[in-house]
Structure 1
Amino acid sequence: MTRDTAVQELLDGALDGSGVVLEEVVVTPAGRRRVVRVVVDRALEATGDVTETVESLSLDEIAATTRTIGDVLDESDVLGEQPYTLEVTSPGVSRPLTTPSHFQRNVGRLVVLALTGAEPVTGRITRAGTDDLTISVPAVKKVPARDETHAYAAIDRADVQVEFSRKDTQDTQDTADPADTPDADDADASGDKEN
């Protein structure tokens, strides 16, 4: 068993039932220390089709998860005696969508799908299931708006598009205080740990 696999199994157990799931663990050398980079995301409550937007992890949830992970690593000898720096983050919008759970967590977001043997298509995810997803494609020139369903197997690459303002959320953003709703897509908490 590799060190990364051992760390992943340890952290999977520590986060079980917390509402947070482990996406990735990478341990890399950095001089006399190591960097332990942990990517976490919100656990999906629904199984099958997801049609509602899944809320991103908040900064408070990332901080609490960082404390949990740090405590578990400190109590374990999985990393040995060498000091390490812990970085806990949630996936950013730059991460390609590669698994059904990635699509399910991004319902409501605008994506570009590179399709096998077809032109890329841009649309908003309205439903994501275990085998396929449905996107709402806006009208372009003489082509009317439409819904398209694509099997994950037919998607070569999928990327979330960054939107600075959306028409359907503009009214709620105008009345909400931006300080009350931090965007945690690229939330990050770090800390140095000495074993």
Structure 2
Amino acid sequence: MSTTQSERLRGLLEPLVTKAGLDLEEVKVTQAGKRRQLQVVVDSDEGVQLDAVAELSREISQALDASDAMGNGEYLLEVSSPGLDRPLTEPRHFRRNTGRLVKFTLTAGGDTVARIIEVDDEGLDLEVPGVKGRKPKPARLAFGEIVKARIEIEFNRKEDGAADTADAETDSDENTEEA
């Protein structure tokens, strides 16, 4: 895809995505033979609801049909949210994944795996898991120190007190309603 087409597509789609309350993460055109596919990836701090994606897909389709951004040939439009395997590249990506375990490749060389605790304008506060029964330790990374970052999938993570907190909130809501 040429830079010109990419810029035109982004310029056409970004206002529609923003109007829907979402962030345009990626616009990608792929071609296999005569078949082309336009992939539009959107996200938000609150996540992306299926109904919002369906509505946005209809609006994008209408806008593309009314323009020549994709040319005259047929194409397949796919509007989706990012998967867990997408690279974290923007501060908002890290913020949206607070609490998750992430593998970082660093400018100083080497990799580290740590849980994102907090994100600010300068970088990340992390918790590096302890090894062989040792306690986790805090760490700090500036955005400039990160070459690459991806979420590590955890299949058996135990939520620290999550069930207790949810029960306490439910109990206090019930008590408030009864009073």
TM-score range, shorter chain: 0.7 to 0.9
- Candidates 139, 159, 167, aligned match of 1:168: 159
Alignment of 1:1-195 (within 5 A): 2-42=4-44, 54-117=45-108, 119-141=110-132, 143-168=134-159, 171=163
Cα distance in 2, alignment partners of residues 36 and 152 from structure 1: 30
Cα distance in 2, alignment partners of residues 143 and 119 from structure 1: 21
Cα distance in 2, alignment partners of residues 36 and 93 from structure 1: 20
TM-score w.r.t. structure 1 length? 0.73
TM-score w.r.t. structure 2 length? 0.78
Report the number of matched residues: 162
Q: SS at the partner of 1:167?
A: coil
Q: Which has the larger radius of gyration?
A: 2
CA-based RMSD of the aligned residues comes to 2.3
Give CA-to-partner distance per residue, 1:16-54, whole Å, 9 cap, x none. 232111111122333333211111111xxxxxxxxxxx4
Give CA-to-partner distance per residue, 1:44-97, whole Å, 9 cap, x none. xxxxxxxxxx44313222222212211221222222221111011211111121
* Larger helix proportion of the pair: 2
Q: 1:4 to 1:119 in 2, by over 3 A?
A: closer
Cα distance in 2, alignment partners of residues 63 and 163 from structure 1: 29
Q: 1:115 to 1:30 in 2, by over 3 A?
A: closer
Letter in 2 for 1:26: K
Relative to structure 2, which stretch is displaced further, 142-151 or 156-165?
A: 142-151
Q: SS at the partner of 2:159?
A: helix
Q: 1:163 to 1:65 in 2, by over 3 A?
A: farther
CA drift at 1:118: 5.4
* Structure 1: 4+ residue segments shifted above 4 A: none
